[in-house]
Amino acid sequence: MKQTVILKKNDEIPLTITALTALGSGVGHHAGLTVFVENTAIGDEVLAHIIKVKATYAVGIIKKILTPSPDRIEPDCPVFAGCGGCAFRHLNYEAEKRAKLQQVQDALQRIGGIDCPVEDILSTGETRRYRNKAQYPVGMTADGKTIIGFYAKRSHRIVDCRDCVLQPASFAPLLDIVAAWAAESGVAVYDEETGRGQLRHIYLRKGFHTDETMVCLVVTTPKLPRLDALCTRLTAADPTVKSVVLNINRAKTNVILGDICITVFGSDFIEDTLCGLRFRISPLSFYQVNPRGAEILYRKAADFAALTGSELLLDLYCGTGTIGLSMAHRAKQVVGVEIIAQAIENAKDNAARNGIENARFFCDDAAGAAKRLLFEGLRPDVVVLDPPRKGCSTDVIDAVSQMQPDRVVYVSCDPATLARDCKRFAALGYAVRRAAAVDMFPRTGHVEAVVLLVRKTPD
C-alpha cells in the first residue's frame, strides 16, 4: 500500500506549539506527526517552514509568527538566534522555569517510572552575568579576522561574541587584550582542520566573592613570544587577574583542555567562597559555574541529607570537595572521591584551610573507589552522588546500594540520566522520596535536579 505523504521538505504549515523539549525546541503536531521548531514558545501559532521530514517527526523553522505566545519576550542578546549557548532568551523567565520543572518531572516519570512530585524549581532569579567561567574558542574568518566567541548550535562554527550576557562584563576586555597580543606577537590561531596554529581557546574564571580572575590560554605549545608583555597588560587593565596559566593541548580533539598546566603569572589557582567556606580552584578542577545557584542547590542537598552529626557521609564525584565540606560540620566523617588529581589536591587544601578535620579525600574513579570502599567495609549512612551528565555506571549504583546507606542524595545536571539511575536504584531497594529542580543555568537548555533516595526497609 502506498503511504500517504503527510509532509514534505519546504512545505509551509500553520502550527500551534504545545510543549518544549529539553533542548528548548517547541513541539507541535501536524496530522499526527510531531514537528519541532526552535525558538518557539508554548502557545505560539507559527507558520513553519519544514526543513526535514523523518518517519516519526519533522523539523521546521519559523517562517512567520502568526500569533505570539504571551510567554514571548524580545531576546536581550544580539547573537541569540545563531549561538548555541542559550535556548530560552525569547521566553519570560517564569515560563522557562515552568518548562524546566516539567522537564524534570517528565524525565522522572517517563524514563524512571517514578511517581514523586518535583517540589519546586529554585533559582537565584539572575538570568544575566551569573556564570563565573567561560571557554571561548578562537578562530579566523576567511579574510583573516580573529573571531572569539561560542559555537553555533550543533556546529563547530564560531559565533563572534566577546561579551556574552551570561558572563561577567569584565571578561570581554581580557579577550581583546589576548587577541591584540596574539596578532602583534605572531601567535597564530589554531585551525581545527589542519592542526596548525597555537591559540585554541581562551578560558576565563572568576571568584565572585573574592573578585579574583584566572586567565588560561589553551595553546599547542608553551613556547610563545612576549608572555611577559601579555601578563603586564592583563594585570594593568584588570588588577583582579591573579593567575595567568597556559594549558597545553596538542591533540586533534574537540576536548578543550589538555592535562598540562604551566603558570606564567601569579598563583596556580584562584579562590572563591561558597557556603561560607573558602575554596581553591585550579584550571582543571571542576567548580560550579553559577556559585550563587550552587549555594541554593547545596542547601537543598543538605536538607535531603538530613545529617545530625553522627553520620558517615560519602561524597562521590566530589570535585574540590564543596558539597561534602559544606556538610562536614553536621557529619561525623566525610569521605570524598574524585577522578581529577588537581581537584583532589584542592579538596585536601580546602579542608585544611577551612579547619575541617573530619574529611578525607581520594583520587580515584567512582566505580573503582565505591567497590574498594565497600570491600574495606565502609558503611556510609548517607551517600551524595554528583556525576557528570552521563550519570553513574551500574558498577557505582551496585556498590553504593551494597553499602546500604539509609539515604542517597543524587545531584544531577541531566534529568534523563538521573531518572535512568533512579530506576536502577529502585530495583536495588531504594525509593525516590523527594525531588527538586534548581535552575542553575538560566536561559540555557540545562537544568539541575536533586533527589532523595531512601532505603526501603523490608516489610
| Per-residue b or e along 257-294, where b marks 16 or more CB atoms closer than 10 Å to that residue's CB | bbeebebbbbeebbbbebbebbbbbbbbbbbbbbbbbb
C-beta of 188 vs 339, nearer to ligand SAH: 339
What radius of gyration, in Å, describes the C-alpha atoms of the chain?
A: 24
- State the nearest-atom distance from the C-beta of 65 to ligand SAH, in Å: 39
Q: Contacting ligand SAH (CB under 6 A), which of 365, 395, 398, 406?
A: 365
- Collapsing DSSP to helix, strand or coil, 230 comes out as helix
C-beta of 153 vs 278, nearer to ligand SAH: 278
Is the distance from CB of 104 to CB of 419 less than 8 angstroms? no
Among positions 182-201, residues that touch ligand SAH (CB under 6 A) are: none
C-beta of 39 vs 320, nearer to ligand SAH: 320
User: Is 413 assigned a catalytic role?
Assistant: yes
Distances from the Cα of 431 to the Cαs of 118, 302, 373, 427, 453, in angstroms?
14, 18, 23, 9, 5
Does the protein bind ligand SAH through residue 448 (CB under 6 A)? Answer: no
C-beta of 198 vs 288, nearer to ligand SAH: 288
User: Of the listed pieces 88-96, 190-198, 346-354, 384-392, which binds ligand SAH according to CB under 6 A?
Assistant: 384-392
- State the nearest-atom distance from the C-beta of 120 to ligand SAH, in Å: 20
- State the nearest-atom distance from the C-beta of 165 to ligand SAH, in Å: 24
Among positions 400-429, residues that touch ligand SAH (CB under 6 A) are: none
Is the distance from CB of 219 to CB of 247 less than 8 angstroms? yes
C-beta of 8 vs 390, nearer to ligand SAH: 390
Number of residues that bind ligand SAH (CB under 6 A): 17
How far apart are the C-alpha atoms of 449 and 30, rounded to whole Å? 33
Does the protein bind ligand SAH through residue 398 (CB under 6 A)? Answer: no
Of 86, 164, 216, 413, the active-site residue reads 413
- State the nearest-atom distance from the C-beta of 50 to ligand SAH, in Å: 39
Helix (H) / strand (E) containing 343 = helix 341-353
- Overall size of the chain counted in residues: 459
Give me the 257-286 binding string for ligand SAH, x by CB under 6 A, dash otherwise: -----------------------------x
C-beta of 69 vs 320, nearer to ligand SAH: 320
User: Of the listed pieces 1-9, 49-57, 139-147, 382-390, which binds ligand SAH according to CB under 6 A?
Assistant: 382-390
Does the protein bind ligand SAH through residue 441 (CB under 6 A)? Answer: no
C-beta of 190 vs 317, nearer to ligand SAH: 317
How far apart are the C-alpha atoms of 421 and 414, rounded to whole Å? 11
Please name the amino acid found at residue 61.
I
Does the protein bind ligand SAH through residue 430 (CB under 6 A)? Answer: no
C-beta of 91 vs 438, nearer to ligand SAH: 438
- State the nearest-atom distance from the C-beta of 400 to ligand SAH, in Å: 13
How far apart are the C-alpha atoms of 20 and 37, rounded to whole Å? 9
Supply angle C-alpha 384, 387, 393, rounded to 5.
Answer: 100
For ligand SAH, which residue has the nearest CB?
Answer: 319
Among positions 303-362, residues that touch ligand SAH (CB under 6 A) are: 317-319, 322-323, 337-340, 343
- State the nearest-atom distance from the C-beta of 388 to ligand SAH, in Å: 5
Does the protein bind ligand SAH through residue 167 (CB under 6 A)? Answer: no
- State the nearest-atom distance from the C-beta of 271 to ligand SAH, in Å: 15
Q: Pick from 126, 204, 219: which is nearest to 170 by CA? A: 204
- Residue 361, CA atoms < 13 Å, CB-side half-sphere: 28
Q: Contacting ligand SAH (CB under 6 A), which of 13, 101, 107, 366?
A: 366
Does the protein bind ligand SAH through residue 78 (CB under 6 A)? Answer: no
Residue 2 gets which letter from DSSP? P
- State the nearest-atom distance from the C-beta of 383 to ligand SAH, in Å: 12
C-beta of 69 vs 123, nearer to ligand SAH: 123
How far apart are the C-alpha atoms of 395 and 370, rounded to whole Å? 8
Does the protein bind ligand SAH through residue 295 (CB under 6 A)? Answer: no
- State the nearest-atom distance from the C-beta of 317 to ligand SAH, in Å: 4
Q: Contacting ligand SAH (CB under 6 A), which of 220, 247, 288, 333?
A: 288
- Collapsing DSSP to helix, strand or coil, 13 comes out as strand
Indicate which residues carry an active-site annotation.
413
Residues that bind ligand SAH (CB under 6 A): 286, 288, 317-319, 322-323, 337-340, 343, 365-366, 386-388
